[in-house]
Structure 1
Amino acid sequence: MAVLPPLLAVLVALALGLLQKQRRRQEKLKKQAEKRQGKLTVELEKLQTELDWRRAEGQAEWRAAQKYAVNVTLDPTSAHPSLEVSEDGKSVFSRGAPPSPAPSDPQGFSEQKCVLSLQRFSAGRHYWEVQVGCSSRWLLGACLAAVPRSRPMRLSPAAGYWVLGLWNGCEYFVLAPHRVALTVRVPPRRMGVFLDCQAGKLSFFNVSDGSHIFTFHDTFSGALCAYFRPRAHDGGEHPDPLTICPLPLKGTCVPEENDSDTWLQPYEPAHSALDQW
């Protein structure tokens, strides 16, 4: 009995020591977590600043491109038989029946079901906008006027095509020359295309938020046409066409827009993945 109180005192002292050690460890871990959180916050702030800067740069580039707006019209004689061009030459949609299931690789197109512009661009700067709406598949850009379109081919710069596309409503991509997936913050309902022949640049802009998406840098070996390829008709009553938008032309004033509202459009769910080209 005489040794019991000292033993209890030792046990209590050990327990208190363990509690203090655990408390110090928790405080140390808390300080480390706060330090990591602080570093993460700083990195996120830097990233946000970089994103804001890039967006501002992209919007400035887009505003500058708008000053070179041209009147683009579709050439019905260049349209694939499955495509229908409006009388005013401003819209195109697929009127054919849905094809067999699409290939797993959207780079391999069985036919060039496209339409080109009447205009040929071999010099200067040119900008146009296209309403893509809620279409789940489309391709836009430019191609060499002399490039053959009657046989299957890879839509790459090496073949004379500089295009950006949407696949199954969820993946934006280019072939430059290999497939490159693109990150788009706001799904575009309207696309801007800017061609600078002398600089060898073809740029794509998301008019829905004024952001820059992608730019091809190349040497164009001949005159180019604007390129349009809508998705295949899915059997719906009102298939979404690709429509060239009216713009103030070169030499006229391009009105400034309120960045907070008019270009932003609500996102709607993409069409089913069963939609075919």
Structure 2
Amino acid sequence: MHHYFFSYKYISPPLLFMCVCGCVPIWQRIKQQRNIPAFPVAPRSCQMLGQFKGPLQYVVWREMRSALNIDFPPITLDPETAHPCLVLSDDLTSVRDGQIRRDVVDTPLRFNYCVAVLGCQSFCSGKHYWEVEVGKKPSWTLGLAYVSINRKGKIAASPGNGYWVIRLRKGVELVAKDTPPHRLCPTAFPTRVGVYLDYSGGLVSFCDASTMDHLYTFVSPRFTGRLFPYFCPGLCNSGENSTPLKICHPPLL
């Protein structure tokens, strides 16, 4: 009898990250997790699948995606929520600080102090994953926020205020805005960030989408409202932080 094996190293990185998030009960040991620098390894069922390339590879990928029941939504930005200084691309997938305040109506939906914008899509169930290209930007903030958040004046981002975000400042300080804030110390700052939401599980996880290294996981007893993707490209700062944030579609196959 011939035994064919398939190695998890041939699984595309985003799907492997989803496999781990979906199969490993990380919420049961979240107190320990914050002392672990790397994301937990893939479950043994993935590791023992061997090194077979070819049609079986596609079949395994397809079955894993179906079993994990994860949505990969085409996230776009909502201009109605964008701070007046923000410049959005025509396809609504990238955003940067334009430094000039546009003459727009200050509706209740619009951020008027923090240079932020929400996604058009919202989530109140299911598992979802997307990626954002941050490049070498020295400052940015990414994550999720309740529809009910305060959008006026200074914002104290924390789960208690309806924000689940991580933030890079001045190119040297990466912080998860938890309660209390948690400084992250990756081996290198990510140039592409993966964001994973498990609504019913109360999880918001971040990873370096290039390496699938785990960055941080927020755990909530339960979410109580619609969550929107949150993007803050940071101030341009005389051109030092002019590169836009760009929403990307993860390479799944």
Residue 151 of structure 2 aligns with which residue?
149
Is it true that 1:239 corresponds to 2:242 in the alignment?
A: yes
Residue 39 of structure 1 aligns with which residue?
none
Question: For 2:141 and 2:42, how far apart are their aligned partners in 1?
Answer: 25
Residue 77 of structure 2 aligns with which residue?
74
Q: Is the 8 A contact 2:125 2:199 kept in 1?
A: yes
Residue 215 of structure 1 aligns with which residue?
217
Q: CA deviation at 1:183?
A: 1.3
Residue 111 of structure 1 aligns with which residue?
113
Call closer, same or farther: CA 1:79–1:66 in 2, change over 3 Å: farther
**Which 5+ residue runs of structure 2 have no aligned equivalent?**
1-34, 47-63, 101-111
Q: Is the 8 A contact 2:115 2:232 kept in 1?
A: yes
Is it true that 1:164 corresponds to 2:183 in the alignment?
A: no
1:56 is paired with a residue whose SS is: coil
Q: Is the 8 A contact 1:187 1:208 kept in 2?
A: no
> Residue 131 of structure 1: which of 120, 130, 133 is its match?
133
Residue 201 of structure 1 aligns with which residue?
203
Structure 2 residue identity aligned to 1:114: A
Q: Is the 8 A contact 2:37 2:214 kept in 1?
A: no
Query: What TM-score comes out, normalization by structure 1 length?
Result: 0.61
Residue 274 of structure 1 aligns with which residue?
none
Aligned residues: 188
**Which 5+ residue runs of structure 1 have no aligned equivalent?**
1-49, 98-109, 249-253, 256-277
Structure 2 residue identity aligned to 1:177: T
Q: CA deviation at 1:136?
A: 0.2
Call closer, same or farther: CA 1:237–1:230 in 2, change over 3 Å: closer
Q: CA deviation at 1:150?
A: 1.1
More helix by share: 1
Q: Is the 8 A contact 2:71 2:126 kept in 1?
A: no
Question: For 2:241 and 2:228, how far apart are their aligned partners in 1?
Answer: 28
Q: Cα deviation per residue 1:221-264 (whole Å; 9 max; x = unaligned)?
A: 1001000000211233992100000236xxxxx22xxxxxxxxx
> Residue 56 of structure 1: which of 41, 47, 54 is its match?
41
Q: Is the 8 A contact 2:137 2:241 kept in 1?
A: no
Structure 2 residue identity aligned to 1:183: C
Call closer, same or farther: CA 1:53–1:237 in 2, change over 3 Å: closer
Call closer, same or farther: CA 1:66–1:52 in 2, change over 3 Å: farther
Q: Is the 8 A contact 1:186 1:208 kept in 2?
A: no
Moved over 6 A (4+): 50-53, 63-66
Q: Is the 8 A contact 1:66 1:127 kept in 2?
A: no
Larger Rg: 1
Is it true that 1:83 corresponds to 2:86 in the alignment?
A: yes
Q: CA deviation at 1:170?
A: 1.1
Q: Is the 8 A contact 1:190 1:208 kept in 2?
A: yes
Call closer, same or farther: CA 1:220–1:240 in 2, change over 3 Å: same
Question: For 2:79 and 2:160, how far apart are their aligned partners in 1?
Answer: 26
Residue 224 of structure 1 aligns with which residue?
227
Question: For 1:121 and 1:54, how far apart are their aligned partners in 2?
Answer: 25
